[in-house]
Chain A
Amino acid sequence: MSDSPERKAGIIACSGEELAEGTVTRLAALRVLHDTRRGDTVTLCLPLFLAGGEGERTFARDFPTITVDGCELRCAARATERYSARPAASLVVTELAAARGITGVAGCRRLNDAGQRAVEAVADELAGLVDQVLGREGAR
């Protein structure tokens, strides 16, 4: 366990380069990290699980993690469970976008309007999950 006195949540985005939804995971994770839940969250680079990031693996074992995947392959959720520990919560952009009525997400490099709306929706959902896994008041 870390010596850090404060509890934090780790966010692991798939960042999938082949799909616009992968870009959505990345931008939503950054929004939560830098803006809406600054100080409560840490982002973990998924490839570091395989490439020798002991700090990432240890953090993901000792702290609650939330995975954000772009598609149903769920690379981030499955790889986190395989290399470290079961995520405390997971979400998939395609599922959330469908549930929120967001269609036509496109633009891996520069997201279109639907992509931007998806970022907002995913960031909002992620922030709620952060509160939930950290046991904060008002958690959904």
Chain B
Amino acid sequence: MPDILQVTVDKFTFRVPTDRVFSPEGVWVMWLPGTAEGRVRIGVTDYLQQHSGDVAFADMMPAGTELKAGDEAGTIETIKATLQLVSPIAGVVVATNPALGTAPEIINQDPYGEGWLAEIMVTDGAAQQSRLLDPDAYFAHMKEQAEAEVDAL
């Protein structure tokens, strides 16, 4: 289990694990161990899933899709809104989470684990990683966001 950074704002507690990096928009990227080629897994942060509400549908770009950083990686429709998920990283989608089709609520239940969204084969991973936020930086950013937006939760 990685160390967890957490903050409570009003009645909500938000968690950030320290074993991955993050986009400011709330998508995490984790390099999968044992994949020398640079295979990463992506998902949404605890803050983003709580802010967005219960997930009704999740539809990720299929395997084989080439993504540039900033491209739409998929769509999550929640009871509050429809989110266009921005890919934090460039690469080719090699897998999507099969559980999303039948039980997309898994994103809410376990956003950092079983609720992962897709796996992407990246090129030039080190350079891409350096453009993302480390856990401390994302935590600070998320905390600021949470305190500003908690009334919308």
Contacts and interface: CB of A to CB of B under 8 A. Distances in A.
B7 interface: yes
Q: Which of B10, B13, B143, B150 has the most CB of A within 10 A?
A: B10
B13 A55 contact: yes
Interface string B9-53: 111110000000000000000000000000000000000000000
A59 B11 contact: yes
Contact of A39 (B7, B9, B12, B151): B151
Contacts of A53: 11
Interface residues of B, number: 11
B12 A5 contact: no
B153 to A, nearest CB: 9
B148 to A, nearest CB: 11
A55 B151 contact: no
A42 B12 CA distance: 11
Contacts of A44: 11
A58 interface: yes
A133 to B, nearest CB: 15
B8 A3 contact: yes
B147 interface: yes
Contacts of B150: 4
A58 B7 CA distance: 13
A55 B12 contact: yes
15 contacts: A2-B9, A2-B10, A3-B9, A4-B8, A4-B147, A4-B150, A5-B147, A38-B151, A39-B151, A42-B10, A42-B11, A44-B11, A55-B12, A59-B10, A59-B11
Given A3-B143, A8-B10, A42-B11, 4 more contacts: A4-B9, A4-B150, A10-B11, A58-B8
